[in-house]
Amino acid sequence: MSNEEKRPTMIDLARVSKTFPPDTHALDDVSLRIRQGEMIFLTGQSGAGKTTLLRLLCAIDIPDKGYIEIAGQDLSRATDTELQNLRRRIGVAYQDFKLLPDKTVAQNIAYSMEVSYRSRQFIRSQTEKLLTELHLLDKMDAPAGCLSRGEQQRVAIARAAANEPELILADEPTGNLDAETTELVMQLFHRYNEQGATLLVATHDHSIYDYPGSKIIKIENGRLAIQKPVGTGRKAETRA
């Protein structure tokens, strides 16, 4: 058994399907296992099912069929309290950001830490650290709705990372960013991954795949197409 196979499972999907009316098979019989500490890039054409998969993983949506387990928690059997506790361990950067436009950047980032009862000092220092890292410190007290798309995207990423989650789900996190700013975001993700967090990043951006030890998973029309470890060019079967 390799070292990677010994790691506990963070995400387990077995035969998951999700259909939207009238007959869009957004996900079709998807099975996938992601282990703790892995960095995974989820690729596929527009409409392939990437966002649908991420929404199921953070229990915003429920599958029509199949089984989903996150950090040992069966999502279909979780109580509201168990789901709340689980969500505190997951940081999500949504494709459409979901920021509160009238709240300041700092207030948007603080939210995930406040619901976890973090101290004011922790919240302040995490906010400043992340905004410095993402070159946004000067926007800390600006209303989030006044920021450019690329700035809002970075705020969404800072909010996802702020509570030091075990799992980060990021949906097109570099879609509005130039190459230099993309690099800042990827450095942040790599830092979290090196500290043990599991990352699942949905992206079209080929420039960010190249990270030793990471894997690419491709979805085509709602089905898993390939899983490929970066750097080896080796194709693997659909279940890691």
Ligand X SMILES: Nc1ncnc2c1ncn2[C@@H]1O[C@H](COP(=O)(O)OP(=O)(O)OP(=O)(O)O)[C@@H](O)[C@H]1O
CA distances from 26 to 29, 53, 228 (A): 10, 9, 22
Angle CA(5)–CA(52)–CA(160) in degrees, nearest 5? 70
Q: Is residue 48 within the footprint of ligand X (CB under 6 A)? A: yes
**SS3 at position 34:** strand
Which does residue 52 bind out of Mg ion, ligand X, none, counting CB within 5 to 8 angstroms by kind?
ligand X
Q: Restricting to residues 68-127, name those near Mg ion by CB under 5 A.
A: 95
How many whole angstroms separate alpha carbon 114 and alpha carbon 173? 23
* Number of residues forming the site for Mg ion (CB under 5 A): 3
Q: Which is nearer to ligand X, 37 or 49 (CB)?
A: 49
Q: Is residue 98 within the footprint of ligand X (CB under 6 A)? A: no
91-112 CB burial, b ≥16 within 10 A, e <16: bbbbbebebeeeebbbbbbbbb
Q: Is residue 17 within the footprint of ligand X (CB under 6 A)? A: no
Q: Is residue 95 within the footprint of ligand X (CB under 6 A)? A: yes
Instruction: Sketch the per residue contact string, 34 through 63, with Mg ion: x for CB under 5 A, - otherwise.
Output: ----------------xx------------
C-beta of 57: minimal distance to ligand X in Å? 12
Contacts of 190 (CB under 8 A, 6+ apart): 39, 211
Interaction site with ligand X (CB under 6 A): 20, 24, 26, 44, 46-52, 95
